[in-house]
Amino acid sequence: MPTITLNKKVFEKLVGKKLPLEELKDRISMLGTDLEKIEDNEIVVEVFPNRPDLLSEQGFARAFASFIGEKTGLRDYAVKRSGDKVIVDSSVDNIRPFTACAIVKKLKFDEETIREVIQIQEKLHVTFGRNRKKLAIGIYPMEKIKFPITYSAEDPNKIKFKPLEANREMTGLQVLGHHKAGREYGYLLENLDKFPVFRDATGEVLSMPPIINSDLMGKVTEETKEVFIECSGFDFEALNKCLNMIVTALAEMGGEIYSLDLEYPQKNFVTPNLFPDKMKFNLSYANQRLGLDLTEKEAKELLEKMGYGYDQGTVLVPSYRADILHQIDLVEDIAIAYGYENFEEIIPEVATIGAEDKLEKFFRKVRDILVGLKLLEVKNYHLLNEIELNAQMLLDEEIVGLKSSTGDYNHLRNYVLPSLMKNLNENQHNEFPQNIFEIGRTFVSDKGEETGVKEKEHLSVVLCHDQVDFTEIKQILDVLMKSLGLECSVKESKHNSFIPGRVGDIMVGGKKIGVVGELSPEVLTNWDLMVPVVSLELNLEDLFEKVFP
């Protein structure tokens, strides 16, 4: 989860109230943010990903001031019209189709505030912007910009500028190959024949989103008083929200917001649009979900504590809130304002009957029988690798692999036995006999299944000690079957993992449900084992059906 670092003094000034430390801690957690630490003048807060509007000092303080009742209700941010234009060329349609832009003036930057602006930008990139994939933000000093600005997509070889943190001019392609930001985010422009670019009226490049700004045009300094801000990406609505989060944060720093006219090929827009969204609100729905009995006035007050406005059944949702999809989201905010700690605990009288899964219950019986035979239960991951599942077992079976995987664990096991072999391999230093078992899931391809994979619960037992032989494992099988009230026979068969003539199919009621045998010395050698092993593996679901036909 993303965190933001707040300067306690700045924060208190923004909130307009200084709370005792304990209360501050408590209120921060009850607002729905996780307090990571408070140290000296630094407050570190974890913000849930649904609230990107809290990812700035200003945004967080705004929500907090409302929550503690210091400054409640909808905030009003004035937007003046600049009359300047941003022209969106149709060439960006299939490249990075949207932008939303604004100007903020009367800013006073110092080292601290510049760092703060960079923090907002970076946090929004990572979270709401899905690492610049969904959207990217550019902020530019106004001094050198001549309007109108154009947003278009161009041949990357024709885009030439000196990017930030570089010492020479580069083409678009060179940026991807040679610039740090290009290497990191270049994949976002991969396979495109044209790259998006912002240019001002003189043709000077402002930036090549979502990669990097121009060093000449896109570097905010302490001298900067006015900035041009653009968000570019694929979801116009999200771009607007993002832009609103930034401009309102800058307004809280003392800036004045100016709109821009966006000329899209088909339609024109004016951004930023800070008008609140309107959402119908049903009080009885909220009361029902929360188990409360709020009056309209109480609900209004609670909504105002969360920064909303309320007017006769309609909630005014701040333009920077990106997480309000349904009135249930308002219900949650009412609950937060009411205080989760203030809800009573009620256990309703609802009679239901508990029931364990039948198969799980059966597994417990099987487990009890085997434990009674002095076997030790182990529990393994369901993932192994191809060598362990096939080559080391002298098998060549179709196994289910993972597309994305971690090192040695990249296939779903088709038998439990290889897991147990791995256990034996890792326990050679421990005392013998090593008689172990596992009840666990196995996976095989099956086109008939919804997912193309059939999952079956298996039991595998291995016995490993110097004197072990086939008789001993068959004795285990016999006790198990007798305990389950089943007649079982072993029919000689062939299996590559076992010594010929010492392996058989486990048959119950004419059906093969498993294999029992003595592992071949070659398999043992493959697993670096110097002690003989006998094993059985059977399908517990088949067995269950035989026990409970």
| DSSP secondary structure code for residue 435 in this structure | E
Supply the DSSP symbol for 123: H
CA dihedral 518, 524, 527, 529 (to 10 degrees): 110
Smaller CB separation from another protein, 107 or 480: 480
Told to check if 380 binds another protein by CB under 8 A, we report: yes
Rounded CA-CA distance 503/484 in Å is 23
Q: Is the peptide bond before 156 cis (omega within 30 degrees of 0)?
A: no
Do the Cβ atoms of 80 and 256 come closer than 8 Å?
A: yes
- In the sheet with 3-7, reading across from the earlier edge strand, the strands are 3-7, 42-47, 33-39
Helix (H) or strand (E) holding 18: none
Binding flag, residue 353, another protein (CB under 8 A): yes
How many whole angstroms separate alpha carbon 179 and alpha carbon 497? Answer: 54
Q: Which of 8, 17, 382, 465 binds another protein (CB under 8 A)?
A: 382
Query: What is the spatial distance between Cα 524 and Cα 420, in angstroms, rounded to a whole number?
Result: 12
Judged by CB, which is closer to another protein: 129, or 172? 129
Q: Taking CA 30 as the corner, what is the angle to CA 25 and CA 36, rounded to the nearest 5 degrees? A: 45
Q: List the one residue from 58, 99, 121, 434 that touches another protein (CB under 8 A).
A: 434
Instruction: Give the span between the Cα atoms of 23 and 15, in whole angstroms.
Output: 14
Q: Which of residues 227-286 bind another protein (CB under 8 A)?
A: 235, 237
Query: Minimum Å distance from CB 402 to another protein?
Result: 5
- We find the least distance from the C-beta atom of residue 356 to another protein, in angstroms, to be 5
Of 143-182, binders to another protein (CB under 8 A) are none
Using the contact rule CB under 8 A, the part of the chain among 75-83, 114-122, 184-192, 372-380 near another protein is 372-380
Tell me which stretch binds another protein (CB under 8 A): 107-115, 126-134, 197-205, 268-276.
Answer: 126-134
Name which position in 112, 155, 381, 522 contacts another protein (CB under 8 A): 381
Distances (CA, A) of 305 to 67, 73, 302, 323, 329: 5, 6, 5, 17, 15
* 294 touches another protein (CB under 8 A): no
Whether a cis peptide bond, with omega within 30° of 0, leads into 500 is: no
Is position 293 an interface residue for another protein (rule: CB under 8 A)?
no
Q: Is 347 in the site for another protein (CB under 8 A)?
A: yes
C-beta of 151 vs 236, nearer to another protein: 236
From 13, 90, 343, 487, residue interacting with another protein (rule: CB under 8 A) = 343
529 is a site residue for another protein (CB under 8 A): no
Return the number of the residue (165 or 359) whose C-beta is nearest another protein. 359
* Binding window for another protein (CB under 8 A); candidates: 183-191, 222-230, 343-351, 466-474: 343-351
Site for another protein in 462-491 (CB under 8 A): none
Find residue 518's DSSP bridge partners.
534
Length of the chain: 549
The stretch among 80-88, 189-197, 217-225, 422-430 that binds another protein (CB under 8 A) is 422-430
Tell me which residues in 385-414 interact with another protein (CB under 8 A): 400-407, 409, 412
Calculate the dihedral angle through the C-alpha atoms of 489, 492, 494, 497, rounding to the nearest 10 degrees.
60
* Least Å from the CB of residue 133 to another protein: 8
**Nearer Cβ to another protein, position 123 or 199?**
123
- From the number of C-beta atoms within 10 Å of its C-beta (0-12, 13-18, 19+), residue 418 rates as buried
Segment near another protein (CB under 8 A); pick from 110-118, 215-223, 341-349, 503-511 = 341-349
Minimal distance in Å, beta carbon 408 to another protein?
Answer: 9
Total residues in contact with another protein, by rule CB under 8 A = 85
Q: Which of residues 45-74 bind another protein (CB under 8 A)?
A: 48-51
- What distances in angstroms separate CA 303 from CA 184, 277, 279, 299, 337, one per listed residue? 42, 14, 12, 6, 7
User: Among 168, 267, 297, 326, which residue interacts with another protein (rule: CB under 8 A)?
Assistant: 326
CB of 377 to another protein, least distance (A): 4
**CB 494, min distance to another protein, A:** 30
Q: Shortest gap between Cβ of 216 and another protein (angstroms)?
A: 34
* Identity of residue 384: L
Query: In this structure, which long-range contacts are made by residues 263-266, counting pairs with CB atoms below 8 Å and at least 24 apart in sequence?
Result: 263/85, 263/86, 263/87, 263/88, 264/88, 265/88, 265/89, 265/90
Q: Choose, by CB under 8 A, the member of 158, 364, 365, 494 that binds another protein.
A: 364
The footprint of another protein on residues 208-237 (CB under 8 A) is 235, 237
The contacts of residue 112 (CB under 8 Å, 6+ apart) are 7
Residue 532 makes contact with another protein by CB under 8 A: no
Q: Which is nearer to another protein, 449 or 469 (CB)?
A: 449
User: Backbone dihedral region of 73: left (phi > 0), alpha (psi from -120 to 50 degrees) or beta?
Assistant: left
Is residue 373 a contact point for another protein (CB under 8 A)?
Answer: yes
460 binds another protein (CB under 8 A): no
